[in-house]
Structure 1
C-alpha cells in the first residue's frame, strides 16, 4: 500500500517552481546591492583622487618650508555638505598634523610610494569613511621631506543611494515574480486538470464497471497512465470473466454427475441383496471418479487461462519424460507408446502447462483408440516455431466433427470417463505459448493433434 504524501502534487510543483524563484530573487537583490556599492565606491574613489591631488597642489614647498595656499572658498567647497562632509588632513612628516578639519587614521600598510594614492576604509566618530592618502616629496636633496595629504568621504549617502537603486530594481522584479507565480499556478492547475478528470472518472465508477477509461485529450504522461489503467482493468475484467465462466461451467457440469450419485445412493439404500448393493456402489464409484476427473480438468483449465511462466526448457526431453510416465498405462491397455523427433529442442515455455497438455493428448488417445494401436509423440522444429504432436492410428474423427474438437465440453464419443475439456485445455495452453493447436486426419487412418509453440 502506498502511503499518501503530506503535500499534494500541485503543492509540490508550486514549491519546487516558486521556491527557486524566490531564492534567485533574493540572491539577485543581494548581488545587485553589492554591484551598486562597488560602482558607488569607484565613483567615490575617482572623486577622492581629484580632491587629494587638488589639495596637494595647494601645498607648495618653499626652500625647506611649505607654503599652503588654501583659500576659504576652497575649504567651504570641501565642507559644503554637513551630512556627508569631506574630511581632510595635511601632515608632515606623515602623522604630524599641519592642516585639516579632522584627524584621519593612517593607512594600514605604510610606507607609501610618493605620488601614488592609496585607498582604504576606516571608521571615524562611528561612521564609515572611504579615505585616500597621497605622499608628496619636497625639500632639498640633502634633507628630503614627506608631505602626506589625506581626504576622507563618508559612505552614508552612497549606501543610501545604492539601497534606493536596488529597491527600484527589485520592486518591479517582485511584481513580475508575483505575475509569474500566478501564471505558474494557472499552468500547473491546467496541466493537472486531466488527472483531476481521471480521478473523478475512477471515483464515479461502480465496482463492476471495468470498461476502459475514455480520455482523448490528455498529455502523453497522463495518456500513458490511462493506458496502463485500462490494461489493468482489462486484465481484471478477463479474470472476473474467467472466474464467472469457471463457476458456471462447474455448476453446470457437476450438476448431472452429482444428481446421478445421489440417485445411485438412494437406489443402493433400497436394495436388499448384496449383489444389488455392490452394483450400485460400483456405479457410485464410477460417477465419483468422473466427477473428480471433471473437477481436475476444470481447475486445470482455470490455471491455463493465466499467463504462462515461460522459461528455457528442452521440449524433446520433456516429451520423452511424459512418454515414459504413461508407458505402464499404455502397456496395460495393449498399446504401443513411443517417441520420434529431435534429440534436443530448447524453447521458452511453461514446463507444467506443456506437461499437462501432453498428458491430456496421451489420455485422449488411450481412451478412444482401440487395443493394439500405436501412439507416437513427435517433436520437430518448423519455420513457424516448435511443433509438438501426438499421432495415433485409431479410427479418427468424422469430417463434420473436426471443427468442434477444441470446444469446451464437446465430446466425439459417449464412452464413459471423458468430460470434453482435455482438448480445450490443450488449445488454451498452445495460445498461452503464442501458437495454436490443430487437428489433422492421417491416412489411411488415425489422428494427429499438433501444438505450434512460438
Structure 2
C-alpha cells in the first residue's frame, strides 16, 4: 500500500487563507444583495406612498357621491412602462371596484387606521408586485363612508437596482480579492523560501557531510528547526567518529593476532612430518585465513558505509593499475587476466573504494573459475554513466541464483575461502557512487558483474 497523499505546507496555507476569503466574499455578496433589496424596497415604498396619497387627493366627495378627478394623462403616466408599470384601484366601500385595475389582490388585513398606508406583496398575472393600500373616510358625520385606494408597482425595477448595486460593489471587491490572493501567494512563497533553501541544502549533501547547516536570514521558527537539525548532525558526526575509531581499533586488534596465528601454523607445518598433525594444521590454517578474510571484508564493508570521498580520477587508468597488481596471482592460477575499453575515462569517485570493488570482483573470478579461464576487465562510457565490468568464461551461476548474488553472507559455491561479503561490498560501493551493481549470465557460458557509476 502506498503512503497517503499529503497536502504540501504551501497548499495548506493557500487553502486556509484563500478559502475563508472566498467564503466571506460570497457571504458579503449575499448580505449586500439583501441590503440592496431592503433599501430599494424602502425607496419603492416611499414612491408608492406619494402616489397613493396623490391619487387619494384626486377623489373628492360631492354630496353623497364621489368626484374622481383623475385625468387620462396621469393614468397614462402611471401605466406607461409595461414591464414595471404602476397599477391602481379605487374601491368604496373597500373591495367594491370603482376605478382602475380590479384584479389587484386585496390586502391581507385592513389598514391599521385612516390615512395610514399598509404595504404588502402580491402577484398580478404571475408577476410579483409591491402594493400599498390607503383608507380614506368621506361623507357627512352621520353617514361616514370609507374609500380605499390601492397602488401597486412591479418589483422588477427593485431587483434590477439591487443587482446593479451589488454588481457595482462586488466588482471592485473581486478585483481587490484577486490582488489580495496574489499578495498572499507571494507572501507564502517568500515565507517558505527558507524552508526551500533548507531542503536544497539537505538534498545536495552527501551522506557523510555532517557539518552544521548555516542559515543567516530566516524566521525564528526555521532557525529553531535548523538548530535541531544541527544538533542531530552533531550527534551523528560524534557517533560516526566513534564508529570509525572502533573500526580502526578492531582492525588492529583482530588482524594482528590472526596474522600471527597464520604465521605460527605455517611454521608448524614446516617443522612436522606427521600426516595427521599436518592435516589438522591445514584445517587450522584454512580456518585462520577464512577468519582473516572475513575480518577484512567486515571492516571494508563498515568503511564503505561510513566513508565516501568523491574526487576526480581516471577510472580506466585505475582499472589497468589494479589489473597489473593482480596479474601475478592470475598467472599463478593459470588464468588470462586482461583489460579492454577506454584509454581514459574521467569520473568523480573514491579511489580506495573503487580499488576495493575491483579487487573483490577479480578475487571472486580467480577463486570460482577453473584453471585456463579468461578474465576481462572493461571500462566504457554509457548514456547513464560510466561502466566498470569484470567478466569471465567460467561456469557462471544458476539463473535462480542471480537474485541473491548481492545479499550479505550468501555464497554461490561451497568452495573454501569465501565469506559471502565481497559482492555485497561491491553493491554498497556502487550505491556510494550514485549507481548500482548488476550481474548477467554470458553465452555460451560465463558471468559478467558490472558497476554503473552515476
Task: With the length of structure 1 as denominator, give the TM-score of the two structures.
Answer: 0.55
Task: Please name the residue that 1:172 is paired with.
Answer: 172
Task: Please name the residue that 1:42 is paired with.
Answer: 42
**Deviation (angstroms), 1:97:** 0.4
* Distance in 2, Cα, partners of 1:165 & 1:110: 34
Tell me, yes or no, if the aligned pair for 2:111 and 2:135 is still in contact at 8 Å.
Answer: no
Deviations 1:253-308 (A, max 9, x none): 45556667778889999999xxxxxxxxxxxxxxxxxxxxxxxxxxxxxxxxxxxx
Task: Please name the residue that 2:70 is paired with.
Answer: 70
**Deviation (angstroms), 1:64:** 2.9
* Distance in 1, Cα, partners of 2:123 & 2:6: 52
The structure-2 alpha-carbon separation of the partners of 1:191 and 1:5, relative to structure 1 and needing over 3 Å to count, comes to farther
* Distance in 2, Cα, partners of 1:257 & 1:74: 127
Secondary structure, in 3 states, of the residue corresponding to 1:213?
coil
Task: Please name the residue that 1:234 is paired with.
Answer: 234
**Deviation (angstroms), 1:78:** 2.0
* Distance in 2, Cα, partners of 1:108 & 1:30: 29
Task: Please name the residue that 1:119 is paired with.
Answer: 119
Task: Please name the residue that 1:223 is paired with.
Answer: 223
* Number of residue-to-residue matches in the alignment: 280
- Give me the CA root mean square deviation: 3.3
* Distance in 1, Cα, partners of 2:29 & 2:119: 27
Task: Please name the residue that 1:201 is paired with.
Answer: 201
Deviations 1:344-399 (A, max 9, x none): xxxxxxxxxxxxxxxxxxxxxxxxxxxxxxxxxxxxxxxxxxxxxxxxxxxxxxxx
Task: Please name the residue that 1:131 is paired with.
Answer: 131
**Deviation (angstroms), 1:141:** 4.3
* Distance in 2, Cα, partners of 1:11 & 1:186: 13
Task: Please name the residue that 1:61 is paired with.
Answer: 61
Tell me, yes or no, if the aligned pair for 1:97 and 1:103 is still in contact at 8 Å.
Answer: no
Tell me, yes or no, if the aligned pair for 1:87 and 1:102 is still in contact at 8 Å.
Answer: no
* Distance in 2, Cα, partners of 1:137 & 1:223: 85
Question: Is structure 2 residue 211 aligned with structure 1 residue 211?
Answer: yes
The structure-2 alpha-carbon separation of the partners of 1:70 and 1:130, relative to structure 1 and needing over 3 Å to count, comes to same
- Structure 1: gaps spanning 5 or more residues: 273-454
Tell me, yes or no, if the aligned pair for 1:114 and 1:137 is still in contact at 8 Å.
Answer: yes
Secondary structure, in 3 states, of the residue corresponding to 1:131?
strand
**Deviation (angstroms), 1:134:** 0.9
Tell me, yes or no, if the aligned pair for 1:86 and 1:154 is still in contact at 8 Å.
Answer: yes
The structure-2 alpha-carbon separation of the partners of 1:229 and 1:4, relative to structure 1 and needing over 3 Å to count, comes to farther
Task: Please name the residue that 2:419 is paired with.
Answer: none
Question: Is structure 2 residue 159 aligned with structure 1 residue 155?
Answer: no
**Deviation (angstroms), 1:53:** 1.1
Secondary structure, in 3 states, of the residue corresponding to 1:161?
helix
* Distance in 2, Cα, partners of 1:252 & 1:138: 128
Question: Is structure 2 residue 14 aligned with structure 1 residue 14?
Answer: yes
* Distance in 2, Cα, partners of 1:151 & 1:19: 47
Deviations 1:326-360 (A, max 9, x none): xxxxxxxxxxxxxxxxxxxxxxxxxxxxxxxxxxx
- Structure 2: gaps spanning 5 or more residues: 273-454
Task: Please name the residue that 1:89 is paired with.
Answer: 89
Task: Please name the residue that 2:100 is paired with.
Answer: 100
Question: 1:357-372, aligned counterparts within 5 Å?
Answer: none
Task: Please name the residue that 1:441 is paired with.
Answer: none
Tell me, yes or no, if the aligned pair for 1:112 and 1:135 is still in contact at 8 Å.
Answer: no
Task: With the length of structure 2 as denominator, give the TM-score of the two structures.
Answer: 0.55
Task: Please name the residue that 1:23 is paired with.
Answer: 23
Tell me, yes or no, if the aligned pair for 1:115 and 1:134 is still in contact at 8 Å.
Answer: yes
Tell me, yes or no, if the aligned pair for 2:91 and 2:99 is still in contact at 8 Å.
Answer: yes
**Deviation (angstroms), 1:63:** 3.3
Range 168-177 or range 250-259, more displaced: 250-259
Tell me, yes or no, if the aligned pair for 2:48 and 2:151 is still in contact at 8 Å.
Answer: yes
**Deviation (angstroms), 1:183:** 1.4
* Distance in 2, Cα, partners of 1:164 & 1:149: 32
